[in-house]
């Protein structure tokens, strides 16, 4: 890292000075610094919308991916909401199950996409629009101004279109409408939530006792010393789901990166411990900001742009190519799991990539595979469901340091589930996503095998 004092780090971040990183446009993506204050000013509008939206409603369904779904999912878990549901899987069984469990006549659907063009979210919208009998009054959108989703939402007379802030990237959007609107629909006191965030933002302005700076210095110094695995404690809120994307997608590029390792023990030379400050659900807002600030600081150590994601598009492009080809995605087993694990060395990490129905039972099976990998190699083992992880740790897998070994797990996708208006269904979509990411990993020279859930676990 170029020689910056603590006061210079703080000053340059708040001054939106891109020279802190790579001078490649970072100043355009620092709107998250003002998100608590900006969102607080919108609470009246958001609460009014939520009151209208929830009239006669028993359940709320959020359709989103990555930054549009992970913060709402963590807020849902932290506050114990049972009537708010997040769909970020394209597995046909998962989509069918959720559609069968909810009543279209008493469900409100929030479509959340910053770009408005995310293939998973647009496919979900196409399906649930038909499922809900095309009743615009039961839909709303959170999206950036001018997006294709905004246009579609107005054409279909959605009950609300709430604007995101174009200067905030998806993974930094937890305290913007992408996180605050879902929180309001859960009945969370968003004014209290945002007040806590404003307290943290103010604390991150000073040199002494700056919580975000302190965490950022720990992350950066740890990386410099070779401790690139960040061991995040398990928490009932599932905070690591959000932190994984923030850390991995922000730092995993140019052959560098911090590897988020939820639940892993920090007792090895390639690992560092971090603490969570989540004694109350409302402290989530403080943690969101503290970690965002910290990752901005860590980005200066790595000398990368923490606000772009140059390798995320690769898997998307490969998915599109497979969908356009008319050929069936190749999901046959490939490679030897035993040989992959035998090749792992100290300082490596294992990533389990589950393109399977995200049920608790299947999560337990992936966890059992993770234990086996950990016991066999002694390495940090991470796991995630696809396609969710493509919008999260996928950037690190391809753009970060070449110390990852990858196990893709697929299952029986069941019968096709049509997506209205598309010439492919969810079975074909998730198959193309799995095949596309497998090919992208191989192209980057990453060791990767594919196994079947039914055969290996």
User: Each residue of 60-90: pLDDT tens digit?
Assistant: 999 999 999 999 999 999 999 999 999 999 9
* Tens of pLDDT, residues 386-437: 999 999 999 999 999 999 999 999 999 999 999 999 999 999 999 999 999 9
The reported pLDDT for the residue numbered 178 is 98
Where helices occur in 108-189 by DSSP H, the ranges are 119-131, 148-155, 177-185
The reported pLDDT for the residue numbered 294 is 98
Query: Mean pLDDT in the chain?
Result: 96
pTM: 0.97
* CA–CA distance, 66 with 53 (Å, rounded to integer): 24
Helix or strand (DSSP H, E) at 31: none
* CA–CA distance, 132 with 107 (Å, rounded to integer): 8
Q: Are 165 and 176 in contact (CB under 8 A)?
A: yes
Q: Are 53 and 185 in contact (CB under 8 A)?
A: yes
- Is the pLDDT confidence value at 237 over 70? yes
- Is the pLDDT confidence value at 262 over 80? yes
- Is the pLDDT confidence value at 298 over 80? yes
Instruction: Return the closest-CA partner of residue 298 out of 324, 274, 264.
Output: 274
- Is the pLDDT confidence value at 457 over 70? no
Poorest-confidence range of 372-376, 398-402, 417-421, 452-456? 452-456
The reported pLDDT for the residue numbered 266 is 96
All domains of the chain in start order, with CATH = 6-23+207-302 (3.40.50.10490), 35-193 (3.40.50.10490), 312-456 (3.40.50.10490)
> What token pair was written down for 161?
């279109």
- Is the pLDDT confidence value at 306 over 70? yes
Where helices occur in 225-359 by DSSP H, the ranges are 239-251, 284-302, 312-325, 337-342
- Is the pLDDT confidence value at 225 over 90? yes
């Amino acid at each position: 890292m170029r020689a910056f004092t603590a006061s210079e780090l703080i000053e340059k971040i708040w001054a939106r000075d891109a020279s802190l990183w790579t001078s490649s446009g970072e100043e355009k993506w620092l709107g998250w610094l003002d998100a608590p204050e900006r969102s607080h000013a919108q609470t009246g509008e958001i609460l009014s919308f939520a009151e209208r939206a929830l009239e006669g409603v028993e359940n709320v369904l959020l359709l989103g991916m990555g930054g549009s779904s992970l913060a709402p999912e963590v807020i849902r878990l932290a506050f114990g909401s049972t009537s708010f549901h997040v769909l970020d899987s394209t597995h046909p069984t998962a989509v069918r199950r959720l559609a069968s469990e909810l009543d279209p006549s008493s469900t409100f659907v929030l479509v959340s996409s910053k770009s408005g063009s995310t293939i998973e979210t647009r496919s979900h919208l196409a399906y649930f629009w038909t499922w809900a009998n095309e009743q615009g009054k039961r839909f709303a959108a959170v999206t950036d101004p001018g997006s294709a989703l905004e246009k579609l939402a107005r054409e279909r007379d959605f009950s609300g279109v709430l604007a995101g802030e174009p200067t905030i990237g998806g993974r930094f959007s937890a305290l913007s409408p992408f996180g605050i609107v879902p929180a309001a629909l859960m009945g969370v006191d968003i004014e209290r939530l945002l007040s806590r965030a404003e307290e943290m933002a103010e604390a991150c302005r000073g040199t002494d006792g700056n919580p975000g700076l302190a965490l950022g210095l720990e992350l950066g110094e740890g990386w410099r010393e070779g401790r690139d695995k960040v061991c995040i404690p398990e928490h009932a809120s599932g905070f690591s789901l959000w932190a994984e994307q923030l850390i991995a997608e922000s730092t995993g590029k140019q052959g560098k990166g911090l590897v988020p390792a939820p639940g892993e023990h920090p007792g090895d030379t390639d690992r560092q411990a971090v603490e969570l400050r989540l004694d109350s659900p409302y402290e989530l807002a403080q943690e969101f900001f503290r970690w965002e600030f910290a990752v901005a600081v860590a980005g200066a150590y790595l000398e990368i742009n923490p606000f772009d994601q140059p390798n995320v598009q690769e898997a998307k492009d490969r998915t599109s190519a497979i969908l356009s080809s008319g050929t069936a995605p190749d999901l046959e087993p490939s490679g030897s799991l035993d040989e992959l694990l035998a090749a792992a060395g100290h300082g490596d990490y294992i990533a389990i990539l589950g393109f399977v129905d995200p049920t608790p039972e299947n999560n337990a099976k992936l966890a059992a595979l993770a234990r086996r990998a950990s016991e066999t190699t002694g390495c940090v083992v991470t796991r995630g469901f696809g396609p969710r992880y493509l919008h999260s740790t996928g950037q690190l897998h391809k753009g970060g340091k070449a110390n990852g070994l990858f196990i893709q797990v697929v299952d029986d996708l069941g019968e096709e589930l049509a997506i209205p208006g598309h010439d492919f269904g969810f079975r074909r979509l998730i198959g193309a996503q799995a095949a596309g990411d497998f090919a992208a990993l191989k192209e980057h020279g990453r060791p990767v095998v594919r196994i079947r859930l039914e055969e290996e676990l």
